[in-house]
Amino acid sequence: MASLSLSSSPTFLRTRSTISSSVRSLCGLPISKLSFRSPDRSPAALGVGKADCSRRFQLRPTEAFSPAGMAAAAAAEKKVEVFDTEENIAVSLAKYTADLSDKFCKERGSFTVVLSGGSLINSLRKLLEPPYKDSIDWSKWHVFWVDERVVPKNHEDSNYKLALDLFLSKVPIPPGNVYAINDALSAEGAADDYEACLKRLVSSGVIAKSKASGFPKLDLQLLGMGPDGHIASLFPGHPLCKESKKWVTHILDSPKPPPQRITFTFPVINSSAYIALVVCGSDKADAVHRALGSGGNNKEPLPCQLASAEGEFKWFLDKAATSKL
């Protein structure tokens, strides 16, 4: 059974009746099939420090989570958390990532992390501070990109450059464990080359393989979302959203410049063990309303709605992004 949790700060926690009307179509279930559980409000129970004393309650569907249009593999537990500010998101995201790093380093001897571009990289900044910077075993991290613009690595549009400048250059991850695209190739060539790289790492055991799908099972994908609901370089209504065989593919006509990119496909995204989808800002409110509220009835699912994970899919939202719920 799927489980979603929604938490907010004390100043943002709404009454049960207000929340009920906001999520009456959440999970494709009528509100009568959602049960509410009062939260344990203590910081200890929440697993957070003084910086983020969020409250939580559970929305528990009595049926399996399978809204119309969602891929069959979307059986993962899904959670939604709302925070007062992006700063509080950054605090929670750091703990979430560090805990998973510890888990997978102990279980598998490595931690495979997928990054996206945009504001997501800035939201990882708390990992550069105590206690995480000195306690994480960075030597076991292997870093990938869910999508990349086909530009030189030193170009301002490069997701690699953004991550390097704000994050990777500040932690001791071995350079050989950072997998950037080959920017000397065409978009198609770079996608094929990146897929070949993933396949080698699956064969060597660095990346796990999903027993359910046969696709690579990356430990954690850290994703952002565009105002149109796109994730990676998978845009609403684009044929690439239906790609089911390739691991990595290319796009030559991205609606958002630059037009040439490579991107993971949904089978690879949805085979992940964990996904954290970080969404901040009022410009994302319409897409969040459509994805999580009543704004998506009788409409083709947005790419963010087609994403899932084999273990846990978690939305990290700020108040502004949920302003229309």
pLDDT in tens, 74-132: 456 789 999 999 999 999 999 999 999 999 999 999 999 999 999 999 999 999 999 99
pLDDT value for 293: 86
CATH of the domain at 81: 3.40.50.1360
- DSSP structure class, residue 145: E
- DSSP structure class, residue 100: H
pLDDT value for 140: 98
Instruction: Report the chain's mean pLDDT, rounded to a whole number.
Output: 82
- DSSP structure class, residue 293: S
The dihedral through the CA atoms of 112, 118, 123, 125 has a sign that is positive
**From CA 39, how far away is CA 45, in angstroms rounded?**
9
Nearest alpha-carbon partner for 320 in 269, 282, 290, 289? 282
Measured in whole angstroms, how far is the alpha carbon of residue 266 from the centre of its chain? 12
pLDDT value for 78: 82
- How large is the average pLDDT for residues 199-206? 97
Residue 54 in this model has a pLDDT that exceeds 70: no
Q: What percent of the chain has pLDDT over 70?
A: 75
pLDDT value for 200: 98
Residue 172 in this model has a pLDDT that exceeds 60: yes
Return all residues near 323 (Cβ < 8 A) that are at least 6 apart. Answer: 282, 285
Q: Provide the pLDDT confidence category of residue 297 given band limits of 50, 70 and 90.
A: low
**pTM for this model (two decimals):** 0.80
State the Cα torsion 316-126-225-198 to the nearest 10°.
Answer: -110
Q: What is the helix (H) or strand (E) element at residue 161, kind and residue range?
A: helix 159-166
Q: How many domains does the chain have?
A: 1
Asked if residue 319 lies in contact with residue 290, where contact means CB atoms within 8 angstroms, the answer is no
Residue 169 region by backbone torsions, left for phi larger than 0, else alpha for psi between -120 and 50, else beta: alpha
**For 179, how many CA atoms within 13 A lie in the half-sphere containing its CB?**
25
Per-residue pLDDT tens digits for 126-163:
999 999 999 999 999 999 999 999 999 999 999 999 99
Domain range for 188 is 3-322
pLDDT value for 36: 28
Return all residues near 259 (Cβ < 8 A) that are at least 6 apart. Answer: 251, 252, 253
